[in-house]
Structure 1
């Protein structure tokens, strides 16, 4: 069995594409081409687009329009062609390993690293992509290792962490935002007549003249207040967290009682640092995943459960991973830069 670091929930389930922007996306067809045209606020990483194209080609022959779009993208930059070749090579390697080491064999789990790689191959390409619909519903987004500061029309400021996205729903009566994935810090411009509400994981955080951080994970969300206070509603209940406090909630459940927060640690991403204190390796790998392309697996559940403490630079996730491997006495089998298997 392979174990992956806990990934974030990439979006609120059931979000429809915003009216008047693009139609809802339900299949891979044409995604690689259209995402290049509509997500103009944040340039897509060529590797992400390349993997889109590889997956689209696996579904069947490209239409003439799609082929023309692919040819134009490849010709636009040598980096595009290089990324496409790498994505095709990775896909071919996965297919080769899957044929040589069928994952369904009961004895495969005990036959060494190539077999593990074959099992990972079945899902790794999809995990590299994340949720393809997010660029289409987001007003602002970031890629791996990227942060972004945005000034909204009302004068509020938003700092997006790596691999994060928000959608805006402003009306004359209300300023509503949805955190689709990742993490963001909000510095809210006062306007008593228009509440500022951030929705995430089925709950909401309403600013009470404040600045605060909201972070999504696969199960829910955490709200950390850096100034004044925030009203957090989830599961039919409401709590008020004040400066220096945090509260968290699972989807559909009530928020926890506000408690003292290590604000410097929880907002260290704004300073280019990842600070972890006695945290499970799986959780740390999920955080590092925001700053690098690819996926990291643990060969055994016990490996992902091991505890990690350290301060790491977010601009060098490769070194951070190497430091963690050394500290825990682990080794890494690298099928490529996109697929790493940790073992003892």
Structure 2
């Protein structure tokens, strides 16, 4: 481990202890550590930014997870890796409890719904199903799913995701949640109507669109057939997307977490075709092409820096 890596590891330990109110008599030692080397202050600022970014990505988990982390740090002195894993595990477990169908990390599952429609879930994904007399509703809680809809003109089939609605028009299509809080929709057969932010667009076969929460969907753009729901074939196809989004998708296929020490790192754009069957190999490829460096705190917690 290099000097920079050691500084970041120490910074994580100091940050957790300070936020947990567990410094006590070590406050002077913490101040001395900060003053000893400008690299220590930079490392501490990097770590603080990383944790705030992680919380911002999952705002619904913040109050519950932070309290749980603080209590455990104060009473058991858990490591930084364990605390982070616990923080995200709570939110993931809540999704499973709410869902009707869910998959674990690296798992894919196909479910046949009561109307005969088929849903294929990518790893780390979950859906809720609500069928009513005049409407079939499915809510995508996490991850990504491929839908093959059984026709029923009397009951529209609607997928709710990130505050928007995707209505099937006799079709097969893919819906994925993004780390920015929006959703991406790609159509394999026929077409869908995407309603978001008070606007509505029609997405035809071999087209895709993206929308942010409470914003109108972007005009549909063409999509090659092999890129639509490529995860069903064990591939992650990334076309000029933020690194954070690619990391989140790979995270659905690997136990553990990867964080960027700076938000600007996760905002960098990346393109390529990567294997979801070998996520660590894919991560190394991304590191190489973007000129990044990884800090492996444990097998389950990796930090990326430039």
For the superposition of Structure 1 and Structure 2, which TM-score range results when normalised by the shorter chain?
Answer: 0.7 to 0.9
Change over 3 Å in CA distance of 1:301–1:114 after alignment to 2:
closer
Q: RCO greater where, 1 or 2, for CA within 8 Å and sep 6 or more?
A: 1
Match of 1:241 in 2: 203
Structure 2's unaligned 5+ residue stretches are: 1-11, 18-25, 52-79
Find the partner of 1:273 among 219, 225, 235.
235
More helix by share: 2
TM-score normalised per structure 2? 0.72
In 2, are the aligned partners of 1:198 and 1:204 still within 8 Å (CA)?
yes
TM-score normalised per structure 1? 0.65
Change over 3 Å in CA distance of 1:205–1:301 after alignment to 2:
closer
Match of 1:144 in 2: 105
C-alpha displacement at 1:110, in angstroms? 2.6
Query: Are 1:286 and 2:248 counterparts?
Result: yes
Find the partner of 1:226 among 172, 188, 208.
188
Per-residue deviation, residues 159-204 of structure 1 (Å, max 9, x unmatched): 1111111111012322111111111110001111111111111111
Match of 2:224 in 1: 262
Q: What is the root-mean-square deviation of aligned Cα atoms in Å?
A: 3.0
Match of 1:196 in 2: 157
Match of 1:65 in 2: none
In 1, are the aligned partners of 2:188 and 2:228 still within 8 Å (CA)?
no
Structure 1's unaligned 5+ residue stretches are: 1-93
Superposed counterparts of 1:1-344, under 5 Å: 98-99=16-17, 110-111=39-40, 115=44, 119=48, 121=80, 124-125=84-85, 126-217=87-178, 218-344=180-306
Task: Tell me whether 125-134 or 141-150 shows the greater mean CA deviation.
Answer: 125-134
C-alpha displacement at 1:282, in angstroms? 2.4
- State the alpha-carbon separation in 1 of the partners of residues 270 and 194 from structure 2: 30
C-alpha displacement at 1:255, in angstroms? 2.0
- State the alpha-carbon separation in 2 of the partners of residues 306 and 209 from structure 1: 37
Change over 3 Å in CA distance of 1:162–1:112 after alignment to 2:
farther
Change over 3 Å in CA distance of 1:257–1:328 after alignment to 2:
closer
Change over 3 Å in CA distance of 1:226–1:318 after alignment to 2:
same
In 2, are the aligned partners of 1:97 and 1:114 still within 8 Å (CA)?
no
In 2, are the aligned partners of 1:332 and 1:340 still within 8 Å (CA)?
yes
In 2, are the aligned partners of 1:274 and 1:312 still within 8 Å (CA)?
yes
In 1, are the aligned partners of 2:110 and 2:120 still within 8 Å (CA)?
yes
Task: Tell me whether 141-150 or 231-240 shows the greater mean CA deviation.
Answer: 231-240
- State the alpha-carbon separation in 2 of the partners of residues 308 and 266 from structure 1: 18
C-alpha displacement at 1:231, in angstroms? 1.3
- State the alpha-carbon separation in 2 of the partners of residues 135 and 109 from structure 1: 44
